[in-house]
Amino acid sequence: SVPRVYVTRQIPPEGLKLLRESGQVQFDIWDSDDVPVPRNELLKKVKGVDGLVCVLTEKIDPELLDAAGPNLKVLSTMSVGFDHLSLDELKKRGIRVGYTPDILTDAVAELTVALLLTTSRRLIEATHQAKTGGWGTWRTLWLCGYELANSTVGILGLGRIGVAIAERLKPFKVKKFIYTDVAPRPELASMIDAEYVSMDELARQSDFLAVCCALTPETKEVCNKDLFSKMKNTSIFINTSRGGVVHQEDLYEALSSGQIAGAGLDVTVPEPLPTSHPLFTLDNCVILPHIASASYTTRNAMSVLAANNLLLGLKGEPMIKELKL
Ligand code: GLV
Ligand code: GLV
C-alpha cells in the first residue's frame, strides 16, 4: 500500500509539489504556516504514519513516537538543527532521519554578517534616533560602535556555517580568526586560517564572538557568566545557532552591566521571546525572530530537500542528507 505521511507545516510549495507529484506517498498536512500544529492534533495525526515531515517547532520525543507507532520509519526535518529531535529514541526505534544542512549555509552566513554589523555599528538605535528627533547635530562620539578592521573574530563551534561567516568577514580586514570546538578541525580551520584556542582564550581574545555550534547536552548554556566575565567590555556577541547555547539571564547581566558591548541574537529561549522580556529593554541587544535561513531561495530549497529526503528514505534508499544516528 502507499506509505502514509504527515507534514506538520505548510512548507514552501516546491517541496509540497514534489510530494504530491511523486505519486509515492499519500499525505496529510497541517495546512498553516502561521500557527504551528497544536500538540494534541499532532499526536492524533501521526497515528500509524510511515513518514513524517516536520519543522523545528515540533518536539519529536518518545511521546510522539509512541503516538505514531511502529510503522514510522522515516523522519525528515526541514532544518539543519536537530535539537528538537530525541536522537537516542529515533535510533533505538530504527527510524531514519533526514535534515537540510549545506543549502542554507550561504543564507545563514549572510544574515550573521548583517546582524553582526547591525549590532556593532548600532544601526537599530541609529534609525530610531533619526526618525524620533534624537538627531540633533553631527556629534563626534554619538552612536559610535566597533569596527571589524584589525579585529579578532572568535567562532564557537567551527563547522560549515562558521567557515562561511569567516570567509565573508575576511574582506572587512579582520586581523585574526580563532575558534574553539570539542577538538581541532584542521581542514575547516585551514580554509580560513583560524587558530584553535581554548574556550577561555576565545572569550579573552575575541572582539566579535560568533556562536555557530549545534545545541547538544554538551553545549547547553556554555555561554554563561563564566564566559562573559572573561570577554572584553568592547566585545560583541552574536548567536545565530540556538538560544539554548546561551544562559540568557547571564547574558542580560553582561549586557546591562557593560561587561560586554553588545549582542545580536537570531535565536532565544523561548521562541517567540515574550515582548515583555528584559532583553528587549536593552539598546545594546538586537533581537531577530529566527530568520537566519529566511531567503526565498533557501527556504524553497530546504522544502525540496526535506521532501526528497523523505521520499528516498521511504524507498529504503540513502537520503541526500541523512543524520548519522
Ligand atoms: C534553523 O534554525 C534550522 O535549524 O534550519
Ligand atoms: C563624516 O561624514 C565626515 O565627514 O567625517
Atom of ligand 1 nearest to the CA of 267: 2
Whole-angstrom distance, CA of residue 254 vs CA of residue 224 = 9
Q: H or E element: which one contains 91?
A: helix 87-92
What is the percent of the chain with per-residue pLDDT over 70, rounded to a whole number?
A: 100
Any atom of ligand 1 within 6 Å of the Cβ of 81: yes
Query: Are 218 and 195 a contacting pair, CB within 8 Å?
Result: no
Ranges of CATH 3.40.50.720 domains, the chain? 4-102+296-314, 105-287
Q: Does the pLDDT value for residue 1 go beyond 90?
A: no
CATH number of 4-102+296-314: 3.40.50.720
For domain 105-287, which architecture applies? Answer: 3-Layer(aba) Sandwich (3.40)
Percentage of the chain exceeding pLDDT 90: 100
Indicate the top mutation candidate among 54, 79, 97, 302 to test ligand 1's pocket, ranked by most ligand atoms within 8 A of CB: 79
- Which of 72, 75, 68 lies closest to 99 in space, CA to CA? 75
Q: Quick count: other Cβ atoms within 10 Å of Cβ 55?
A: 20
For 163-207, write each residue's pLDDT tens digit.
Answer: 999 999 999 999 999 999 999 999 999 999 999 999 999 999 999
Query: Angle between the 123-131 and 105-120 helix axes, to the nearest 10 degrees?
Result: 60
Residue from 84, 128, 247, 290 carrying the catalytic annotation = 290
What would the pLDDT profile of 70-120 be if each residue is shown by its tens digit?
999 999 999 999 999 999 999 999 999 999 999 999 999 999 999 999 999
pTM (global) more than 0.80? yes
